[in-house]
Structures are given as C-alpha cells and as structure tokens.
Amino acid sequence: MPGLAVNVDHVATLREARKINIPDPVAAAAMVELAGADGVVVHLREDRRHIQDRDVRILRETVKTKLVLEMGATSEMLAIALEIKPDMVTLVPEKREELTTEGGLDLHFHGDVIADAVKTLQQGGIPVSLFIDPDLDQIKLAHKMDADCVEIHTGSFCDAPSAKKRAKAFDAVVKSVRFANKLKLGINAGHGLGYQTIKAFKGLSEIDEFSIGHSIIARAVFVGLERAVKEMIALIKEL
C-alpha cells in the first residue's frame, strides 16, 4: 500500500496571516503522525511565506516518522538541509510570484544546478526526490543524475478542465509511474490530490507515497485534522 506524507504548510499559512504563534505546524505534524500518516512534508520557501526556519528545526527534533523538506536548489537551502538533515529533500522549482509550486523541475534547462544539488545532498547523507511533470524525458534525466526518487506532479490531472483532458493527463501519470518503476526510481506523487481524485490511482501499486497538503488541511477545518488524515488513509488503503 502506498504511504501518505502530509504537507502542513497550510497550517503555517494560517499562522502567518496574523503573524502570531498559532496554529503551529509543529503541533499539526504531531497530530497527523498520531492519525497514521507516514511522513510530514514542509516547504521552506525563499520568501518564508508560511513555514519558518524555526518550524523545520523543531520538526527535525519532533517528527517520529519521516521529515521531508521541499525546497529550491539554492545555496541557502542546501546549507539549511545539510545542517538539519531531513529524511528526504524534494527539490522543487520556486517562483516568488506563484501561489503554490506550479510546474515540475525542468531537468533539461536546469540540469547542471539540479545535478549538483542532488550530489551535494546525497554526499551529506540525504536522499533526494525530484518533483517533475509526468514526462518520460524528465524521468530519464532524473535517473541519469542518480536521484533516489521522483515525485510525479499530479496537478495537470487533478486540475484538468474536462474529462477528456483529465483522462489524457492521467495516462501521462500512469506511463511516467511505470517508466520510473522500470528504472528502479522511488516514486512519489502529489499536487492537487483530493478525496475524489485519489481514487483514480487504484491498481497503480508502483507508487511508494502520496504527498498531500491542501485537501487534507481544508477538510480538517470542518472535521478535524485526525479525521481528515484517517479518511485519506482509508481511501489509499482501498487502492
């Protein structure tokens, strides 16, 4: 059964809306672990719009499952990762003006920078996942640069404006997952996944872990965090 890593950035977004100390993503991380999640994900952005350095440092001390740090491949973030030593780093593209991570990494265009970052992190003992679009060329490049894992961007599938486009986007996800599996890469999937869209992944057993944030935190506002996590785990169990 694929695992579930829960992204708690949105708890920090709510905190930063008031610039005070509640709600605390560290408390949220403990709760998602108690509810059965297999990992906690945080994205430390260059502009610190939600997760703060303090959060990552405390989470390193408190997370019992697995701490995944999402970050851009900048020298500042590499230094932080090497000091904090998360259980995995997921390298993502980052633009200041975006609301959330938009596309996957372009390993053609930024190949050298990403390959160097992969090497630096791995030499520091940190496994590296690359967040990429469902594109076979990108997977080939990720394999070539010895990434431990790829995270397949599921946004085009989840946000597709029509059934036809959704089916096409999902087909690309399936092909990418199968190809990455052939290359013996670890396989995560995420972005935009929710309580309906997750059901499409039935039978795609090559996926190691789903990385989900917004839909779980949004549901938690109404039903509580424990129930929101448990309901997602129950759906993943059925895949």
Q: Which residues bind ligand PXP (CB under 6 A)?
A: 7, 9, 43, 70, 90, 92, 100-101, 131, 151, 190-193, 211-215
Report, in Å, the least distance between residue 33 CB and ligand PXP. 17
Quickly tell me which residue has 């949220």 as its tokens.
28
The catalytic position among 10, 33, 50, 70 is 70
Complex with ligand PXP: residue 191 or 219, whichever CB lies closer = 191
Q: Least distance from C-beta 184 to ligand PXP, angstroms?
A: 21
Assess whether 191 carries a catalytic annotation. Answer: yes
CB neighbour burial string for 150-188, b if at least 16 within 10 angstroms, e if fewer = bbbbbbbbbebeeeeebeebbebbbebbebbbeeebbbb
For residue 124 the two structure tokens come to 């520091």
Residue with token string 């973030």? 77
Which one is catalytic: 10, 43, 50, 153? 43
Nearer to ligand PXP, 84 or 211 (CB): 211
Q: How far is the CB of 105 from ligand PXP (least distance, A)?
A: 10
Number of residue whose CB is nearest ligand PXP: 213
Q: Nearer Cβ to ligand PXP, position 3 or 192? A: 192
CA distance 106 to 97: 18
Count of Cβ atoms closer than 10 Å to residue 214 Cβ? 16
- Which residue's entry shows tokens 């080939």? 140
* Residues belonging to the active site: 43, 70, 191
